[in-house]
Structure formats: structure tokens, C-alpha cells
Structure 1
């Protein structure tokens, strides 16, 4: 299938895309002991969370909103985020640069700009990241395709674990999923495939080019538009081709029934780069759209 863009220039043939930038990023779940912890607010770390479905283990870090321990009758929406080691803490983040998502959420909640929420950071395992975060096997790269099992892991193992231990609102309207890069790709794919579980999606700089832009064809194949609320963004400096694919992804979401500024917000950041600092800098806007 040929994918047409609705902007000034059509994306190139995906097979012409050079080796992607992610190959230079060596993700790890290990702590950088030379860097001090930078956690804000109340966080809880669950180490060695074992998955029967995936056959591996990882850490899960949970940010709790101000007042969580005092308001013992209150329940909260939950946002599940990929690449959890990069969200809150320089000591565990890729390259020692975190999103600062704990500081951002804390500030927005205190200023009454978003509703209080729980944020669950699910660490990647490093070696399995590409496999788990991609819906299909990319024939050119000869890897990937484990997103369905990863989604099963989120729905059948992680979410029940969190719902059992924390005061959560468990319905889809109060359950979000998010991430960046390949983490954005898997969040959009799993979220739209399971709208009865996830109702809010934070999709930052998604790797929409993966496997000849399969995510766009996946959205085209959806039998019905869900009520899922979607934040989608991209930076203009995120490679020569990726912004084109993300704009095409936006256009397909609109064709499928999502409405810009209503249940779909698209942001293109001038001079925005593909890194944790850039994603953290606009996380406040994403949280306000999804949790205002």
C-alpha cells in the first residue's frame, strides 16, 4: 500500500531510510552510580518484577501524587509509561538526562492544572527493548515483532499488580499509556488495539517509520474509531524522514475519526530533538491535554 501525506511533501519510500538514530542509543536498566538521585515527591521502586509472559524481569517505579498518603479514601487515574528509568531520576536515565516527569507532574498538580494521578514507569530491559516495543518484524533490520506479547504483559501482569497495591481508578477513561520513540510506537499500537483498557495515550516522537510505516496501515485497518484521547508530537530535528511519517500518522488518525484539538492534539516542535530533554520539556503540555 502506498501511503500519501496531506502536507506539502510525501514521505519517501521507507526502504530508503538509513539506519535509524535509535541504534546509537544503548539503553540500560542499570543505575549510574556516579550520578546522584534526583527523585521528587513520593516514589516507590519495585525491583526485579518478573514476567511470566515475557520470561524476563525489570524494575517498575511508581510516582504518587501529593496527598496520596493522607487522602486514604481517594483513588487516582494512572499513566503507564515506557522506558521508566528515564522519567524521574538522573541516576538511572539514559546518558544521565531524565525527563523530569516527577517534577512536572508535582508542579502541575499543586497548581491545579491537572488532576492528581499516579505515574508508573516501566523500565525497559535494554536487550529486549526493540523486540518488545515493535508490533511487527522489520525485514530490513531483521528484528522486532513482540509488541503483542508486551501488551499482554502490561494488561495481564503490570496493571493488576499496580491496581492491587495502589488506590487506582481502573476503567479505561482513567488508564493511560505513553512513551517516546519506539516507546511511543508501542503505546499507540497497544493502546488502540485495547481501547477497553487504555483510554488516554501520550505518544511522543513515535517511530512511525518502523517496518514501512506499518502503524499507519494498522490504524487504517481499525474497524471502528474508539473514544481514546491521543497526544501526538514530533520535533523538526528528529531526522530527515521521521517528521513526515508522524504527520502522515496524524492525517490517518483524522481520517479515522479523531478530531484535532478535541480528542487528538498534534504538536510539531520547531528545532525539537529526539532525546529525553526534549520530551521532558513538553511533557507539561501533554499532561494538561490528557489530564486537565
Structure 2
């Protein structure tokens, strides 16, 4: 049987099918995948960035337009990081900027306050990452001049809707009113604000949640000292960390008493109307109640509850008088002595001031001026009590008087008016301003120079409240020299660089005070 030959068209079709047999079809090409790649932008923002900030990457290429057409919005990742993933064309140099559009319109500035120029990116591989840091935010025209940024990190126990404030020693900080300036919520579980001060302004402040009842505490619930900062006149940040809040419970500081310490409780004046008070007495190493032949000089100090026991100290910080005295006596650097700490009362202001000052009616409504009564109590009632109970040297040259702030003022005053009782004075950070500098007037009015050995000092960072200042203390020093005291002999004047008006600063120099007033014999 004869088979017919296939037609030419059939042959060509069979040939084509044979050529295609075993070949997989190729997927259609996707121009986007070939020409674009994913890029993640991670931006580290300054710590004062509002937590609800809206940040955009803005560029001329359509890839930066985003769904809103205004830019690619970055998402807050926690900490100080905002991120966004963009699909950008490959091998093409693109320019972009970062902007904050809310809560206010600002751009990235460099450390000098100049707007940062547009950045560039060129994509080569898929899933690339681009990271950069914003130094600070400001207007497009840049920002120069003094700007102090406060960053307050709060503990996790802080209520999420809490208001956080700063209160401090300047009008911008409320002059210690408990709620001077309100902070806004910033990134990284912090609060922030920006204020402007003149260069060289000494700041002292604390964080609160709107009142002193909610003031910051340490993580253990203990008192914390004032935060301090001296402005430089440019852009600067001040960062603090709050450990806890007063209304969440507090823990008393540990009681550390060194050496032999005794107390007189509820000592009452019968010669004056002064309120009763406690007295703390530190006895030197080797003191023996049965040894009636060895006698010791005595230093009386004001604000007794702040001297040796942190549990009674007003701000949870003590001078460390007991530890310092114990160490110096044992080392032979100080003559063995007895230290008597006289507690203050709610009438501290009136008792520690020699004249009224109508500018300060808040001093118990009495404007001050009861120092003579206080001096009578010390010299005519307490001192005889101490001399009877302990083995003391009773003469004026063996008896000292010391204190800080208003305590320094009253030490100077009582030294002049009762020099027959007190011959050694520790005039520490004195409140010379009181009564229109009345203490200087009284020094200049002395008819005869009393036999007083005087330590006088001031810290260079005490002037933030406009009261205890270097200038006033220098004026007191000049007045003393003018009345015959000799520097380096019976007068020692010291300006402590960087020292503030607080217990920590006074504790740091108490050893020097003691060595000058009671050198070893």
C-alpha cells in the first residue's frame, strides 16, 4: 500500500513542534523588578524630638512622593529611631531631605544651626539600608544663639498621661514654685522643652509632676539634690534621669553614724520664747567620761539635723561631719574636739537673722531679726549645759560657731556680738544680702576688732537665686580686712570653684574648715 507524502505546510508544522519540545516557556519580563530596589531608611533623631512627630522623606523623584504625594512618612520604631522602606530606581542618583511637618514645621540642622543640605542615595542592590542622624531641628533659615534643651527621662512607673514639669531658681523655671515650665512628651520615654538664658546663667532645678508632693526621687525613693548647670550661650542639652516620684512612696536614706554620738532631746529655752529643739553631740576618739583631766574645745554648729544623720537631714543629704572629724582627728590633722549640732526649728529664718528684711515676709511672717534671742540661748543656756555634762575647754578661744547660708550669717553676727563666748567662726556661704547687707554695715561699725579666727567662703555657682553671691562675700571679706583681720593669719577666705549652695558642697570642704579652725596642737 502506498503512503502519501505529507504536504509542505504539515512538514513545517511538525518541524516547529519538534524544536519546541522539551523547552520551558520563559516568563514575561517585569521592567519594575529590573529597574527598582527596596531601600530602608533608618533615621536617628535628637532626644528632644516629640514622640508624636510626623517626619517625611521628601525628594524630586516620584518614588519619594508617598501615598499623600507630599513625601514618605517615617514610622517611629522606639528609642530615637524612625524608619521607612522605599522602592527606588536603581543606578540613579536621587536627592532627598528630611522634614518634620508636625507638631511644627522644622528641618534638620547641623551642630552649628545651619540647615542640612539635601542628601543623595544611589541604589545598587535590593534590600539596601541607609542610616543617618539628625543633630537637631529648626527652621529652614537655621537657628543660632542661646538655646538650652532639657531632656528628662522618666521611670516606667510614670503614668502615661502624666504632666512633667521643671522647677528651679530662674523666672523661666518658676523660681522654685513646683511647676515652673511644662515639658512635652518626647521620644525614648522622655520629656523635653527648650528655654533661652543668658550665657553664664547658673541653673538649679528639679523635675516634678506639677507640685513638690510629686517631686523626683532616686530609684530607691530617696531625696535627690538639685540638678545644676551653667549655660554657655549657645545650643546645649541638659539631660537628667528621674528614678522615682515622691508620691509613689519613699525610702529613708541609710543612717550612718561614725564615732561616739549622743543626743539632748527637746532642749527648751527659759530665757527666751524660742521653740524647743534637739541637739546632737559628736565626741572625739578617745573621749572618756571618767577622764576629768583632759579637756576639749567645742564647735557649735547650726542646722544640726543636716550635719551627721541623713535620716534627719532636710534633703536627705548630710555634711558628713562625724566621718570627716573622726578621720582628721585620728590622722592628727585636727585637734580633738567636741562638735555640737543645734537643730533648727520652723523659726529658722527669724532665729538666724539679726534684723528684719521686709523683702522676705515669707520668713515665718516675722521678717527675721531674732538672732539676739538665739544667741542668748546658745551662750547662756546651751553652752553651760554642754560644759557641765562634758569635759570642755570653756574659754572663747576654744569655742567655735559655724553654719552655712543664713547659718553663716548668724555665725558672723554672733561672733561679733558675743566674742566673749565664741572665738572661732565658720562663716560658710553666708547670706550677706540679708537686710540690705546689714552684716557689712555692722562689721564696718565695729569700734574695736574682736579676737576672732574666721573662715569665710563662697561657692562660685551659688548665685543662681540672686542671693548668696561671690560679689557680696568678697565685699564682706574686704570689710573684715578693713577692720584689721589679716588674710592667712586670723582670716581665711576661699572661693570654691564650681561649688553650689547645698549640703554636698559644704560637706566637700568641711575638712578644710575644721583644719583651719582647729589645727593640731
**TM bucket, shorter chain:** 0.7 to 0.9
Q: Judging changes above 3 Å, is the alpha-carbon distance between structure 1 residues 89 and 23 closer, same or farther for their aligned structure 2 residues?
A: farther
Partner in structure 1 of residue 517 of structure 2: 290
What are the superposed Cα offsets for residues 145-197 of structure 1, whole Å, 9 maximum, x if unpaired? 00011111111111011011000000001000000000010011011111111
User: Residue 110 of structure 1 is aligned with which of 318, 322, 330?
Assistant: 330
Query: Residues 33 and 91 of structure 1 are in contact (CA less than 8 Å); yes or no, is this contact kept in structure 2?
Result: no
Cα shift at 1:36: 2.6
User: Residue 442 of structure 2 is aligned with which of 211, 218, 240?
Assistant: 218
Counterpart CA distance in 2 for 1:76 and 1:96 is: 30
Partner in structure 2 of residue 141 of structure 1: 360
Uncovered stretches (5+) of structure 1, i.e. residues with no partner: 1-17, 27-31
Partner in structure 2 of residue 264 of structure 1: 491
Query: Residues 54 and 150 of structure 1 are in contact (CA less than 8 Å); yes or no, is this contact kept in structure 2?
Result: no
Query: Residues 187 and 201 of structure 1 are in contact (CA less than 8 Å); yes or no, is this contact kept in structure 2?
Result: yes
Counterpart CA distance in 1 for 2:253 and 2:340 is: 22
Q: Judging changes above 3 Å, is the alpha-carbon distance between structure 1 residues 213 and 88 closer, same or farther for their aligned structure 2 residues?
A: same
Cα shift at 1:94: 1.7
Partner in structure 1 of residue 198 of structure 2: none
The two structures have a TM-score, normalised by structure 1, of 0.87
Partner in structure 2 of residue 163 of structure 1: 387
Cα shift at 1:22: 9.8
Cα shift at 1:46: 1.0
Q: Judging changes above 3 Å, is the alpha-carbon distance between structure 1 residues 55 and 94 closer, same or farther for their aligned structure 2 residues?
A: closer
Equivalence map 1:72-83=2 (5 Å): 72=291, 73-83=293-303
Partner in structure 1 of residue 474 of structure 2: 247
Counterpart CA distance in 1 for 2:429 and 2:300 is: 17
C-alpha RMSD of matched pairs (Å): 2.0
Partner in structure 1 of residue 413 of structure 2: 189
The two structures have a TM-score, normalised by structure 2, of 0.50
**Count of residue pairs the alignment pairs up:** 267
Cα shift at 1:227: 1.5
Uncovered stretches (5+) of structure 2, i.e. residues with no partner: 1-169, 179-211, 213-249, 362-366
| 2:455 matches 1:236 | no
Partner in structure 1 of residue 155 of structure 2: none
Partner in structure 2 of residue 62 of structure 1: 281
> Which has the higher Rg, Structure 1 or Structure 2?
2
| Higher relative strand content | 2
Partner in structure 2 of residue 96 of structure 1: 316
Aligned residue for 1:93, secondary structure, equals coil
What are the superposed Cα offsets for residues 265-289 of structure 1, whole Å, 9 maximum, x if unpaired? 0000011100011001001111111
Q: Judging changes above 3 Å, is the alpha-carbon distance between structure 1 residues 217 and 145 closer, same or farther for their aligned structure 2 residues?
A: same
Moved over 6 A (4+): 21-24
What are the superposed Cα offsets for residues 242-264 of structure 1, whole Å, 9 maximum, x if unpaired? 21111100000000000001000
Partner in structure 2 of residue 201 of structure 1: 425
Aligned residue for 1:259, secondary structure, equals coil
Higher relative contact order (CA 8 A, sep 6+): 1
Counterpart CA distance in 2 for 1:65 and 1:33 is: 31
Query: Residues 178 and 184 of structure 1 are in contact (CA less than 8 Å); yes or no, is this contact kept in structure 2?
Result: yes
| 2:261 matches 1:43 | yes
Aligned residue for 1:223, secondary structure, equals coil
Aligned residue for 1:164, secondary structure, equals helix
| Higher relative helix content | 1
Cα shift at 1:34: 2.1
